[in-house]
Structure 1
Amino acid sequence: MSSSVSTSSLPRVLRPFSGAQYRRLVFGLMLALFSDGVWTVTVVWQVIEIGGGPGQVSLASGLAATGMVISTLFGGVLADRVSQRSIIVGLEIVKMIAFGMVAICALTGVLTLPIVVIAAILGGITTGMYYPAYSALLPAIVEPAQLQAANGIEGIARPVLFQAVGPMVAGAVISVAAPAQASIIAAIASVGAALCYLLMRPVAVRRDPATLRGPVVRSVLTDLAEGFVYMWRTPWLWATLFFATVLVLATMGPIEVLIPFALRERVNGGAGDHSLVLAAFGVGAAASSFVFASIPMPRRYLTLMFGIWSLSSVPLVLMGVAEHTWVFIVAGFLTGILYDGPMVLWGTLLQRRVPPALLGRVASLDFFVSVVLMPVSMALVAPVSHAIGVTTTFVLCGLIPVPVAVGFYLAARLWRDEVAHPLTDEAQAVAAAVVHDEMTGAAFVEPNTVEPDAVVSQEDRDDPPAAP
Structure 2
Amino acid sequence: MGAPIDQQPQARESRAPGGWRVLAPFQVREYRLLIAALSVSIFAEGMWAVVMALQVIALDHDPAALSMVAACLGGGLVAFVLVGGIAADRFPQRRIIIAVETVNLIAVSAVAVLGATGRLQVWHMAVAAGTLGIAAAFFFPAYSAYLPRILPADQLLAANGVEGVVRPVLQRALGPAAAGLLVGATFPSLGATTVAVLFGVGLTLLIATRPVTASHIDEPEHEKPHVLADLRDGFAFMVRTPWLLWTVLFASVFVLLVLGPIEVLLPFITSARFEDGARMYGLVIAAFGIGGAIGALVVSSGRLPRRYLTVMMLMWGPGALPLIVVGWTHSFPLMAAAVFIVGVTDGAGSVIWGTLLQRRVPAQMLGRVSSLDFFVSLAFMPLSMAIAGPVSKVVSMQTIFLIAGVGPVVLAAVAFLAARMRRDEIAHPLQ
With structure 2 as the length reference, what TM-score do the two structures score?
0.84
Q: Distance in 2 between matches of 1:235 and 1:172?
A: 45
- Return closer, same or farther for 1:57/1:326 CA change in 2, 3 Å cut-off: closer
Query: Corresponding residue for 1:446?
Result: none
Which is higher, the Rg of structure 1 or of structure 2? Answer: 1
Quick one: which amino acid aligns to residue 40 of structure 2? L
Per mean C-alpha deviation after superposition, the further-off stretch among 395-404 and 84-93 is: 395-404
SS of the counterpart of 2:317? helix
Per mean C-alpha deviation after superposition, the further-off stretch among 170-179 and 135-144 is: 170-179
Q: Is the 8 A contact 1:88 1:194 kept in 2?
A: no
- Return closer, same or farther for 1:385/1:14 CA change in 2, 3 Å cut-off: same
Once the two structures are superposed, the pairs formed by residues 424-463 of structure 1 within 5 Å of their partners are 424=431
1:183 aligns with 2:192: yes
1:98 aligns with 2:110: no
Per mean C-alpha deviation after superposition, the further-off stretch among 225-234 and 161-170 is: 161-170
- Encode CA deviations 1:110-149: one digit per residue, 9 max, x unaligned: 6666655433322221122211111110111112111111
Q: Distance in 2 between matches of 1:411 and 1:8?
A: 43
Q: Is the 8 A contact 2:164 2:293 kept in 1?
A: yes
Per mean C-alpha deviation after superposition, the further-off stretch among 279-288 and 247-256 is: 247-256
Higher relative contact order (CA 8 A, sep 6+): 2
Query: Corresponding residue for 2:149?
Result: 140
Task: Find the partner of 2:80 among 47, 51, 71.
Answer: 71
Q: Distance in 2 between matches of 1:209 and 1:12?
A: 33
1:407 aligns with 2:419: no
Q: Distance in 1 between matches of 2:120 and 2:328?
A: 46
SS of the counterpart of 2:356? helix
Q: Distance in 1 between matches of 2:169 and 2:35?
A: 14
SS of the counterpart of 1:376? helix
Q: Is the 8 A contact 2:73 2:132 kept in 1?
A: yes
- Return closer, same or farther for 1:318/1:164 CA change in 2, 3 Å cut-off: closer
- Return closer, same or farther for 1:113/1:140 CA change in 2, 3 Å cut-off: same
Which runs of no fewer than 5 residues in structure 1 stay unpaired? 214-218, 425-468
Query: Corresponding residue for 1:455?
Result: none
- Return closer, same or farther for 1:121/1:398 CA change in 2, 3 Å cut-off: closer
Task: Find the partner of 2:89 among 57, 80, 90.
Answer: 80
Q: Distance in 2 between matches of 1:245 and 1:63?
A: 18
SS of the counterpart of 1:357? helix
Query: Corresponding residue for 2:259?
Result: 252
Query: Corresponding residue for 1:459?
Result: none
SS of the counterpart of 2:333? helix
- Encode CA deviations 1:177-224: one digit per residue, 9 max, x unaligned: 5544433332332222222222222126976563425xxxxx222222
Q: Is the 8 A contact 2:166 2:293 kept in 1?
A: yes
Which runs of no fewer than 5 residues in structure 2 stay unpaired? 1-11
Quick one: which amino acid aligns to residue 280 of structure 1? A
1:163 aligns with 2:172: yes
CA-CA distance at 1:48 after TM superposition: 6.5
- Return closer, same or farther for 1:17/1:107 CA change in 2, 3 Å cut-off: same
1:364 aligns with 2:371: yes
Q: Is the 8 A contact 1:243 1:405 kept in 2?
A: yes
Task: Find the partner of 1:129 among 134, 138, 155.
Answer: 138
1:212 aligns with 2:219: no
With structure 1 as the length reference, what TM-score do the two structures score?
0.78
Q: Distance in 2 between matches of 1:388 and 1:114?
A: 27
- Encode CA deviations 1:343-386: one digit per residue, 9 max, x unaligned: 11100010111111111111112222443323433455567677
Task: Find the partner of 2:351 among 344, 353, 356.
Answer: 344
Once the two structures are superposed, the pairs formed by residues 360-399 of structure 1 within 5 Å of their partners are 360-379=367-386, 389-399=396-406
Quick one: which amino acid aligns to residue 28 of structure 1? A
Query: Corresponding residue for 2:246?
Result: 239
SS of the counterpart of 1:312? helix
CA-CA distance at 1:327 after TM superposition: 2.8
Query: Corresponding residue for 1:27?
Result: 36
Per mean C-alpha deviation after superposition, the further-off stretch among 385-394 and 371-380 is: 385-394
**Among the aligned pairs, what percent are the same residue?**
41
Q: Is the 8 A contact 2:249 2:377 kept in 1?
A: no
Q: Is the 8 A contact 2:295 2:348 kept in 1?
A: yes
Give the root-mean-square deviation of aligned CA atoms.
Answer: 3.2
Per mean C-alpha deviation after superposition, the further-off stretch among 128-137 and 186-195 is: 186-195
SS of the counterpart of 2:42? helix
Query: Corresponding residue for 2:9?
Result: none
Per mean C-alpha deviation after superposition, the further-off stretch among 143-152 and 411-420 is: 411-420
